[in-house]
Chain A
Amino acid sequence: MNPSPETGAKCEVLFTVNGEAKKVLAYPMERLLDVLRHDLKLTGTKEGCGEGECGSCSVLLDGMLVNSCLVPVAQASGASIVTIEGISAHALMRPLQESFLGCGGAQCGICTPGMILAALHLLEKKPEPTLADIQEGLAGNLCRCTGYMQIFEAVARTARRSVAE
């Protein structure tokens, strides 16, 4: 990244989003969330609270789950970012999707992209999570519809299916 010479200057940010090299011109303090949604039109990433409490804006930044509302885009320079749009080909995506549907883990849908990414992040590290692991892995993602039990069951079912296969 080129340091911005003075207030009001945009800078060029180069990064990889869902496997594709991207270049955007943005103010360095623009939130990664806004750049994804507005500049790159990747509206699968949602804004809930905008203060890192709800997890709706979760993305993977160099493989790590982060709240994209708390990342200034300049800090994502050179990084590899994966959003909900980028995981359709992931081996766990289909079982996760089917389990969320089958268990009633998705209702209004605002938390769902973040829940799926947090679940994926967990299952990649712990393919056979306990209920406590699932609760901890999703503790930063709030849902106001389901009451969580259906979501926990969806993740547990995904793990059971993937391990069985």
Chain B
Amino acid sequence: MRADPAEYRLVSPGNLHAVLSLMAGEPAQWLPIAGGTDVMVLYSAGKLPNRKLINIWNIPEIRQIEVFPDRIRIGAACAYTELRRHEIVSREFPLLATAASWTGGIANQNRGTLGGNIANASPAADSLPALLVYDAELTLISVRGERRVAYRNFHAGYKQTALAVDELIRDISLPRRFRGYVSHARKVGARNAQAISKVCLAALGQIANGVIRDVRLALGSVAPVPLRLSETEHMLIGKNIEPSLIAAAKKSVVKEIQPIDDIRSTARYRAAVAGNLVAEFLEKLAAERARA
């Protein structure tokens, strides 16, 4: 059943303080809407539980990308197009820029926001593994004040987040210390644009003295939340990349993930592809070592 617009409210307070006051006044009643690429889909299908919406698309405080010497701060309502165009994001955070280019098509990149993707908390979102490997930190804001949460602690379970009912994500902060890393982003899906991933990988690695000095691996669509592969990383650090290590890494990946069968793929296929993507990255890292 299509939604009847007469049953919904949408208000546009126009500044962050007014948005937060409204959310605090009636907790859990107001659903923020930025570019609408998730909210409007549910709304049109008649599946949006909220009847009160609050426009955050026109809030300048959350639409800027600020560059500091040690980090960049991305306003939660920055759209994917803005991320792709940003010089520092493209140069120093290529995994995020690449994931932005896979998200929807151009029209959805013009409206879809990074904060929206985080709050929507789909384990299949293409940009979220990149945030995990870049050690993103979120600033959550409410009338009660601000607090910082490491992104890796933000998703508590399937579609569950650390956001309190009166809180908004204000910005996403990324430390600028991954410039020297080899990076690798891969999406496996029916097609890059529009289609949701069967599996996607964001990976960073660094070789020193012939062994892996640091490695960071995160996968989408293989667990109830975007997943950092901490055990596999731990197993790889300090090792020389050789075929036996790659084989062990593939086994470890399969142990760490919890893939399911759904309309897009099967658990078995996802497990095989997840291992292969990590293996592909390790081969790339080994090739970089050989060139260096």
A interface residues, Cβ below 8 angstroms from B: 1, 3-4, 6-9, 26-31, 50-53, 55, 58, 64-67, 69-72, 74-75, 77, 118, 121-122, 136-141
Contact = CB atoms under 8 A, between A and B. Distances in A.
B124 interface: no
Nearest to B55: A75
By secondary structure, the B interface counts as: mixed
B64 to A, nearest CB: 17
Interface residues of B, number: 37
B13 A51 contact: no
Contact of A70 (B10, B37, B193, B194): B37
A3 B107 CA distance: 27
A67 B107 contact: yes
Nearest to A30: B5
Residue of A50, A51, A53, A139 contacting most chain B CB atoms (<10 Å) = A139
B78 to A, nearest CB: 14
B44 A55 contact: no
Given A29-B10, A51-B44, A140-B194, A66 B107 contact: yes
A53 B106 contact: no
Contacts of A6: 9
Interface string B34-53: 01110011011100000101
Interface of B: 3, 5-13, 33, 35-37, 40-41, 43-45, 51, 53, 55, 57-58, 81, 101, 104-108, 110-111, 191-194
B12 A55 contact: no
B7 A118 contact: no
B5 A139 contact: no
Contacts of B10: 4, 28-29, 72, 74-75
* Interface secondary structure of A, over-half rule: loop
A78 to B, nearest CB: 9
Given A28-B9, A136-B193, A75 B36 contact: yes
Given A4-B11, A51-B45, A72-B10, A29 B5 contact: yes
Contacts of B108: 52, 67, 70, 140
Contacts of B58: 75
Given A3-B11, A30-B5, A72-B36, A51 B41 contact: yes
A26 to B, nearest CB: 8
Nearest to A57: B107
Given A31-B44, A70-B40, A77-B12, A8 B7 contact: yes
A77 B14 CA distance: 12
A58 B191 CA distance: 20
Nearest to A141: B105
